[in-house]
Structure 1
Amino acid sequence: MFITDQADLESFATRACGSSLLAIDTEFLREKTYYAKLCLLQMQTDEETVIVDPFAVDDLTVLADVFTNPGVLKLFHAGSQDIEILYRVVGVMPTPIFDTQLAAALLGHTQQIGYGALVNLCCGVQLKKIDSYTDWSRRPLSPSQVNYAADDVVYLPAVYRKVSGQLASLGRTHWLDPDFAELVDPKKYAVNERDRYRRLKRVGQLKPRQLSAARELAEWRELKAERSDIPRKWVMTDEQIVEACKREARSIDELFMVRGLSDKLSTRDARAVVACIVRGLDTPMEDWPEHARPSRNEANVDVVVDLMSAVVRKRARESNIAFQTLCNHSDLAKVARGYRDVAILQGWRRDIVGNELLDLLAGRLCVFVREDTVEVTKR
């Protein structure tokens, strides 16, 4: 059912509240906007498939009741971007949820297994990919586009039943509860403009005073892009911010020495950019930000992390869990430096390998190679 009428959407929302599940997917574009532009919303209940044209209906918030209905399980595959968009346009977080990509990683599949590959494994269906990079904002949609969009939710309930059944047989049904809770935590999608400078490309090239200027300038760019609903790079690129701060530009003439800025910035914006740089450069030294990296008095942990990785890979393989789902390099480095509030030392992850990592650090574990196989024993 292709929905282009508000009354039809409201009728579907009422019917969907009686379903046991609601598979959800979106098609969107974000190449020319700050916020992702929702172009299509696909949903599958126990009994029907609907595709909603958000350009044609008046109000998507009518889906709020079914999105928050505790009796309707919301299904996603790699759903973080879908959830972020829906939270903005519907106004609520979909709960409860189940993400089949996260679940598949607990069953030996790669951490980022694609929907098509999982459908093929669980349902024996090879999905067509002809419309995967189509322009979803154009109207009218072709029949192949509609079919492609529908396929993204039609098979999701069957995939869910397959992987959830496998998780149940392994006693892992609730292992992902914290991960699912994080996916629908509004804090995950909150934008901290003041911290945006840490994600600039090549920000590590800046000295502390210059980093202070980058903090001010990156915040200004974030707010301007958000207000204008345009991509950040249309205001200034990461490289231009870093170069302007590296030059410590205190005038428009100095600023325009950076390639491309004279064509990109109006005189008014150029004044604002210079003001940001000057404000950051003149910030007292004690208020300068620091690069996000270990302090010099922390021990080099590379060798220790390598040993820990060997143990984790062995246990991940034995448990048929994707390595990155069990832990990541950053968490291992934190454990090696003495931190204990780390995911690998919590819940089921601790049971599988976390306790062994603590034994390894305490010298109670021996790691060696026998016939090309890593072995782990108690000392």
Structure 2
Amino acid sequence: MITTTESLARLCETLAREDFVTVDTEFMRETTYWPDLCLIQVAGETVNGLIDPLAPGLDLAPFFALMNDPAVLKVFHAARQDIEIMVHRAGIVPHPVFDTQIAAMVCGFGDQVGYESLVRRIAKSQIDKSSRFTDWSRRPLSDKQLAYALADVTHLRVIYESLKQELDRTGREHWLREEMDILTNPATYRTEPEDAWRRIRVRLRSKKQLGVLMEVAAWREREAREKNVPRSRVLKDDAVAEIAVQMPQAREALNQLRALPRGMATSRTGEAILKAVAAGLALDPKSLPQPDDGRDDMSEQAQAAAEVLKLALKVVCEQEGIAPKLVASSADIDAIAESDAADVHLMHGWRRELFGDLALAIKRGEAVIGFDKGRVRVMRKNSGLQAAAE
């Protein structure tokens, strides 16, 4: 375990000479808004390291400098949360980055394939799962726990090299590059309290209700950040949703809500909620989007088209060896089914090349799903029933 700034600087100086380093973090966030960084694992070709962020006096600056070094590729598995921690702690987005989970999806290993699965299938090894639910904030950590943590980056070297070879072989490296551009874009990690309402599922029937939802959700987000507690500690999602629907404007009305804890209506929190409700009701309805009332407004024709397109996506992705979820979401498919001009991820970059244009061809009747030599294919009519991807 590296517990001093001096030893960390030596490790990072060595790793900075590598072409790539593998990285993982262990953190706890059950009782906080911001994750508590508890352990950092790094590995290069010749040296591995376990860094203790909780060690008294340890300055993580050398590690963050390594993460910010454009000459060293940083390899993660499912990098999003690891990067979020670095954005919060140091204000940096590591670059360049290679995410083995996304690369595995590009290479046909399925949707959001887990690290243990890749270790088993690529590295031909097994991970001892007994330390999976370790409380990483406790000290000292056992040798068994440290070995488990280190395995998260040592096997990752083999996985990276194998996936990189496959990407080079298939010519899909530029597909991954587009995804890494999103992952390393600072805008990806900007979360504004004003957008917090989008996380809450609730059926709304008016813009007044939507305005209340927006203001109450934003208040809760700011409160959770300031106190560094989970959102649910401030107010649970179902309570935010009920407030939006009922729009209480007095303590008596607030006290009638079933989702609120007893006594909250007469507390300072209750007063803050009523202020947020009032702010939501004061918003100009013209400035608000149309609320989602939870109903499916797609026409029967569009719904049928979406089902056909989802089947076609599955067929093409099986043929190409890529995870369908990486190519298009259900929302993307629904949008294309409703409108050829839908501006969704599917209609940009490599996704459009792989399936977007083909989806439009299916809608126009220029391509069909059929059998070719006993196999299900998506075929263009004007190409003598040749498989579209061929």
- Cα pair 1:196 1:215 within 8 Å, conserved: yes
1: CA distance, partners of 2:297 / 2:118: 46
Q: Deviations over 1:3-30 (max 9, x none)?
A: 0111111222222211111100011111
For 1:365 and 1:88, locate their aligned partners in 2 and report how far apart those are by CA, in whole Å.
Answer: 48
Match of 1:7 in 2: 6
Identity across aligned pairs (percent)?
30
- Contact kept, 8 Å, 2:87 with 2:189, in 1: the verdict is no
Structure 2 counterpart of 1:378: 381
Give the aligned partner of residue 154 of structure 1: 154
> 1: CA distance between counterparts of 2:296 and 2:39?
50
For 1:199 and 1:98, locate their aligned partners in 2 and report how far apart those are by CA, in whole Å.
Answer: 28
1:367 is aligned, of 335, 349, 369, to: 369
**Which sections of structure 1, spanning at least 5 residues, go unmatched?**
none
Q: CA offsets per residue over residues 82-109 of structure 1, 9 Å max, x none?
A: 1111222133111111011111112211
Output the amino acid matched with 1:321: I
2:218 maps to which residue? Answer: 219
**8 A Cα contact 2:5 2:58, kept in partner:** yes
Give 3-state SS (helix, strand or coil) of 1:376's partner. Answer: strand
**What is aligned with 1:133?**
133
With 241-250 and 89-98 compared, the bigger mean Cα shift is at 241-250
For residues 216-266 of structure 1, the C-alpha deviation after alignment (integer angstroms, 9 at most, x for no partner) is 111111001000000001000111112123222111222122244334577
State the number of aligned residues.
Answer: 377
Paired amino acid for 2:109: H
Deviations 1:60-96 (Å, cap 9, x if unpaired)?
2322321122221100001111111122213311111
In the other structure, the counterpart of 2:326 is 325
Q: Please name the residue that 1:262 is paired with.
A: 262
1:282-297 pair list within 5 angstroms: 282-292=282-292
**AA paired with 1:356?**
L
Larger mean CA deviation between 276-285 and 259-268 belongs to 259-268
State the Cα distance separating 1:205 from its structure 2 match: 4.2
Shift of 1:282: 3.6
Q: Which amino acid aligns with 1:105?
A: M
- Equivalence map 1:114-193=2 (5 Å): 114-193=114-193
Output the CA distance in 1 between the equivalents of 2:127 and 2:292.
43
Please report how far the alpha carbon of residue 212 of structure 1 lies from its aligned counterpart in structure 2 after TM superposition.
1.0
Name the structure 2 match of 1:307: 308
Whether the 8 Å contact between 2:205 and 2:293 is mirrored in structure 1 is no
Q: CA deviation at 1:333?
A: 2.0
Summarize deviations over 1:287-307 as a string: whole Å, max 9, x none.
444225899997552111111
Unaligned runs of 5+ in 2: 383-390
Structure 2 length normalisation: TM-score? 0.90
3-state SS, counterpart of residue 35 of structure 1: coil
For 1:334 and 1:213, the matched residues in 2 are separated by 28
Corresponding position of 1:28? 27
How far did 1:188 drift?
Answer: 1.0
AA in 2 matched with 1:117: S
Shift of 1:267: 2.1
Q: How do residues 97-108 of structure 1 correspond to structure 2 at under 5 angstroms?
A: 97-108=97-108
Mark the CA change 1:218 to 1:305 in structure 2 (over 3 Å): closer, same or farther.
same
Are the aligned partners of 2:204 and 2:292 in contact in 1 as well (CA < 8 Å)? no
Distance 2:45 2:293 in 1: 49
Q: Which SS does the other structure have where 2:379 is aligned?
A: strand
